[in-house]
């Protein structure tokens, strides 16, 4: 399989290069300590910056699904991301995508709750719930319901992009909770140290967006205007214009303050308003007394042989970008042996109902310490601080970058698992 993602250029490459330059200390790649406080990059990218090769692949994929060509409007994409993050009560991602949602023209009323969103988006709630907590329940019927919903039906291309966004954000919740980013999250506000209003994201500068708010603009415009007024020679007219200008400026400032306070209040809303059936959560895939779920066998449906080609056909280029992420996390230099990384990956798939016939699962118990298994399962299956406390990773000899590497493995393994279940259901619908 030819991977062409490295040849594709996106605006976020500049951001990633900036991160790579800042993590080079004495010839070694270390974590970035001041990026977030300086407004250069968000907290998630700060954590991933200790693995710049993977970070570039991650940012490229994320930028593509949220901002580049695709069948879904930009507000829809961010609202779907909000719905996905809300399933795990991830305040950090809900706030982040709420601000993006408003910035790309989303209707603020939608942020009042799921019931305020269009019916087409509300129809995604069921598959969002299933993929987030019990992906093995994803069935052809879920796909059929969405594609045959009358006037509110989804196209196949739209649904595929929506599923990719859901899976991406679900798995990102695991990383956020695993790195404790959500606990350290402090939302931007108009009173933030760097003076950045809540609706302005430092990502914009990295993405080539030069629409900086007036409060951050240089005073050259005001200087030019003053000189033009001074040259008018009409003192009376000048006073009137100055007074009118001051009144308009005060009015604009009040309106902007009210708008920012309203948007910030909306963005800091309880994530639970974007979900239904809050008691639906992860359950053990196979219990001894009720082992009635069919195991997903990779030999029957795999990413390499089935998922990649299907998603790439229905959503151009995304297959290459996702495949590059899977390969990047697998090839990262690490203190962990390849056998240990494979054991972590296969264990996550196992607890989500996916099995490899050619793998000896006895290696999981041999290679993964009990504390590590508890941590991996908690982060992969229920990364929600409101329900289950995340077990601490007590491998003290590990560097920070090695701990983050484990969280990256968890995130990517979960991402692929959700995609496999969703894409298999779509395949079943197409051949039915």
Q: What per-residue confidence (pLDDT) applies to 197? A: 34
Give the integer Cα–Cα distance in Å for 198 and 211.
15
Write down the residue that tokens 């209707």 correspond to: 107
Comparing CA positions, the residue from 296, 281, 286 lying closest to residue 378 is: 281
The answer to whether position 224 is within a domain reads no
Residue 302 lies in a domain: yes
Task: With respect to residue 289, please indicate whether it lies within any of the assigned structural domains.
Answer: yes
Place of tokens 């994201």: 201
Look up the pTM and report it. 0.76
Whether residue 202 is contained in a domain is answered as no
Extract the tokens encoding 3.
Answer: 């991977």
What is the secondary structure of 149-194 as a DSSP string?
Answer: SGGGPPPHHHHHHHHHHHHHHHHHHHHHHHTTTTTT-----TT-TT
- Please report the pLDDT score of residue 205 as a whole number: 37
Does residue 4 belong to any structural domain of this protein? no
357, part of any domain: yes
- Helices 220-230 and 235-267: crossing angle in degrees, nearest 10, is 160
**Structural domain tally of the chain?**
1
Q: State the pLDDT at residue 392.
A: 58
CA 193 – CA 204 distance, rounded (Å):
18
Q: Residue 28 in 3-state DSSP? A: strand
Within-domain flag for 34: no
Annotated catalytic residues are 90
Q: Are 386 and 88 within 8 A, CB to CB?
A: no
Q: Give, for all 432 residues of the chain, the pLDDT tens digit.
A: 333 433 334 444 445 444 444 434 333 334 333 333 333 457 898 889 988 989 999 999 999 999 999 999 999 999 999 999 999 999 999 999 999 999 999 999 999 999 999 999 999 999 999 999 999 999 999 999 999 978 899 999 999 999 999 999 999 999 999 888 766 665 654 333 333 333 334 344 334 444 434 433 333 434 343 344 344 445 566 556 656 766 676 666 665 555 555 555 555 668 999 999 999 999 888 654 455 678 999 999 999 999 999 999 999 999 999 999 999 999 887 767 899 999 999 999 999 999 999 999 999 999 998 888 988 999 999 898 776 555 655 554 567 777 899 999 999 999 999 999 999 999 999 997
**Which of helix, strand or coil describes residue 58?**
helix
Domain that holds residue 273: 41-184+269-431
**CB-based contact 408:54 (threshold 8 Å):** yes
Q: What is the CA radius of gyration of the chain?
A: 24
Q: Phi and psi of 353, rounded to 5°?
A: 90, 10
Residue 333 has a pLDDT of 79
Residue 325 lies in a domain: yes
Residue 372: enclosing H or E segment and its boundaries?
Answer: helix 370-381
């Amino acid at each position: 399989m030819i991977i062409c993602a490295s040849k594709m250029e996106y605006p976020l490459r500049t951001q990633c290069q900036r991160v790579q330059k800042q993590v080079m200390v004495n010839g070694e790649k270390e974590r970035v300590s001041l990026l977030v406080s300086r407004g250069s990059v968000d907290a998630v990218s700060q954590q991933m910056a200790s693995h710049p090769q993977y970070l570039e692949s991650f940012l490229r994929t994320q930028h593509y699904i949220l901002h580049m060509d695709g069948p879904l409007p930009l507000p829809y994409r961010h609202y779907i991301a909000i719905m996905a993050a809300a399933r795990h009560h991830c305040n950090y991602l809900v706030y982040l995508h709420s601000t993006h949602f408003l910035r790309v023209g989303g209707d603020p009323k939608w942020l009042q709750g799921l019931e305020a969103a269009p019916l087409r988006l509300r129809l995604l709630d069921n598959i969002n719930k299933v993929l987030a907590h019990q992906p093995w329940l994803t069935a052809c019927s879920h796909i059929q319901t969405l594609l045959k919903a009358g006037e509110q039906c989804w196209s196949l291309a739209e649904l595929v992009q929506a599923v990719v966004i859901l899976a991406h954000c679900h798995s990102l919740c695991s990383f956020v909770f695993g790195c404790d980013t959500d606990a350290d999250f402090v939302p931007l506000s108009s009173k933030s140290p760097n003076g950045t209003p809540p609706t302005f994201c430092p990502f914009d500068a990295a993405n080539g967006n030069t629409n900086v708010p007036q409060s951050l603009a240089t005073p050259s415009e005001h200087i030019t205007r003053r000189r033009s007024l001074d040259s008018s020679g009409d003192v009376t007219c000048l006073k009137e214009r100055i007074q009118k200008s001051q009144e308009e400026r005060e009015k604009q400032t009040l309106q902007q303050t009210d708008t920012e306070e309203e948007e910030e209040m909306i963005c800091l809303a309880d994530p639970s308003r974007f979900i239904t059936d809050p008691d639906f959560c992860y359950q053990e895939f196979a219990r001894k007394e009720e082992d009635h779920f069919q195991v997903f066998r990779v030999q029957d449906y795999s990413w390499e042989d089935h998922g990649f080609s299907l998603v790439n056909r229905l959503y151009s280029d995304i297959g290459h970008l996702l495949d590059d992420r899977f390969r990047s996390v697998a090839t990262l230099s690490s203190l962990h042996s390849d056998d240990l990384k494979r054991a972590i990956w296969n264990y996550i798939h196992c607890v989500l109902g996916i099995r490899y016939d050619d793998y000896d699962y006895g290696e999981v118990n041999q290679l993964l310490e009990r504390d590590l298994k508890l941590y991996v399962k908690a982060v992969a299956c229920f990364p929600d601080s409101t329900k289950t406390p995340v077990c601490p990773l007590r491998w003290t000899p590990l560097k920070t970058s090695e701990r983050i590497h484990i969280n990256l493995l968890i995130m990517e393994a979960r991402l692929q698992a959700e995609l496999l279940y969703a894409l298999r259901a779509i395949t079943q619908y197409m051949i039915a």
